[in-house]
Structure 1
Amino acid sequence: MPRAVAGPEIERLIQLLARVPGLGPRSARRATLHLIKKREQLMSPLASAFEDVLGKICTCRVCGNVDVRDPCSICCDDTRDPSLLIVVADVADLWALERAGALNARYHVLGGTLSPLDGIGPDELNLPSLVQRVQSGAVTEVLLALGATVDGQTTAHYITELLREANVKVTRLAHGVPVGGELDYLDEGTLSAAIRARSSF
């Protein structure tokens, strides 16, 4: 077991940072050292931002996005097209599509994808509210912006069947999204091209 190289408070910070996706123990140590060196310019404002947002974070009851207001900023935006509903697996996917800026639509976050091996079935996903939103009458197209993974495509097929009786057009992202790819890791250009070339599902 490696020895602690700093006091318990600093070691705790390193251990917590190491839990962040994309950061391992080495990256967490480098990040911690950088934060310590830039205490006034970076660490103090970061701690203040964490404290400020901690008590305000909530999940939007309409779409499932994470924001500091409920309904979220996207759902409250009157300039968005209410007839197009983009279905995503996770909030990270929603944010990736927003960065691409290809469509000014509304979203629906499923909270994951169907994965029998992981014990994730239809009951674990935000599907009832999706059906309810589609049946409300305002939606004319549902764009399934799900990853090109086996679980993503399985979920897309399931939703297509679920909405078969609804009077809506169901589309999916074009195959510009690589097979096995996750939306959050794609560049904005690829996402924009995939959205523009979407096809019926």
Structure 2
Amino acid sequence: MYDGPLQDLIDALSRLPGIGPKGAQRIAFHILDASQEEVDALADTLREVKEKAKFCSVCFNVSADETCRYCRDSRRDQSVICVVEESKDVIAVERTREFRGLYHVLGGAISPLDGKGPADLHIRELCTRLADGVVTEVILATNPNLEGEATASYLSRLLTPMGVKVSRLASGLPVGGDLEYADEVTLGRAFEGRRYVSAEPDARTA
């Protein structure tokens, strides 16, 4: 344990995702050794991202404007929407250069243990985007883990009756992993080999 503000900084950094105690300590000492100008620049950047970063009013991707650059790009295929859990997954998909359609960011996945259900995600807005008939295919690119699979299954049952093709990313992604950590080749092959899914019958009416 260190005295005063340094320990407070280490504790604060340790609460960030993906940063353990040792990593937090290294970052804290780096900041301590940095010049005042570097520290001020970092503080200004943190304040700016909190003040200016927002979410696209159409797809809910992180954006500096009312709508994100993908929604504004008329060259992208307007007939296909790729549904992902988080904005970081959009970047992962873009790195493959296999997809040129639009996106929809759910803002997470269905997770009863975390108290997150369908109503907590941007699912209603997705359905609204499909209402005009322009979109003919929805690619479900949720993470290949328990929560992601549950979300994809729910969406496939919900969307298929709306008359759109619903596909799921194919094998190539490790079960239990996250899109964020998939390499470009693996994720690209998953897009190429995506499979179409149909709504599963409700067990209560089957």
Q: Calculate the TM-score normalised by the size of structure 1.
A: 0.89
Alignment partner of 1:34 is 2:30 = yes
Which residue number in structure 2 is paired with residue 99 of structure 1? Answer: 95
Q: CA deviation at 1:164?
A: 2.0
Q: CA deviation at 1:16?
A: 2.0
Matches within 5 A, 1:109-120: 109-120=105-116
Which residue number in structure 2 is paired with residue 76 of structure 1? Answer: 72
- Measured on the aligned residues, the alpha-carbon RMSD in Å equals 1.8
Matches within 5 A, 1:112-191: 112-191=108-187
Post-superposition CA distance 1:8-44 (Å, at most 9, x none): 2x33322222222111121111012223333368434
% identical aligned pairs: 42
Structure-1 separation of matches of 2:141 and 2:129:
17
Q: Where does structure 2 lack aligned partners over 5 or more consecutive residues?
A: 198-206
Q: Calculate the TM-score normalised by the size of structure 2.
A: 0.87
Give SS of 2:167's match.
Answer: strand
Structure-1 separation of matches of 2:15 and 2:108:
20
Post-superposition CA distance 1:114-169 (Å, at most 9, x none): 22233222211111111111122211110000111122112111111111222211
Alignment size in residue pairs: 197
Alignment partner of 1:16 is 2:50 = no
Q: Where does structure 1 lack aligned partners over 5 or more consecutive residues?
A: none
Alignment partner of 1:90 is 2:86 = yes
Structure-2 separation of matches of 1:40 and 1:81:
47
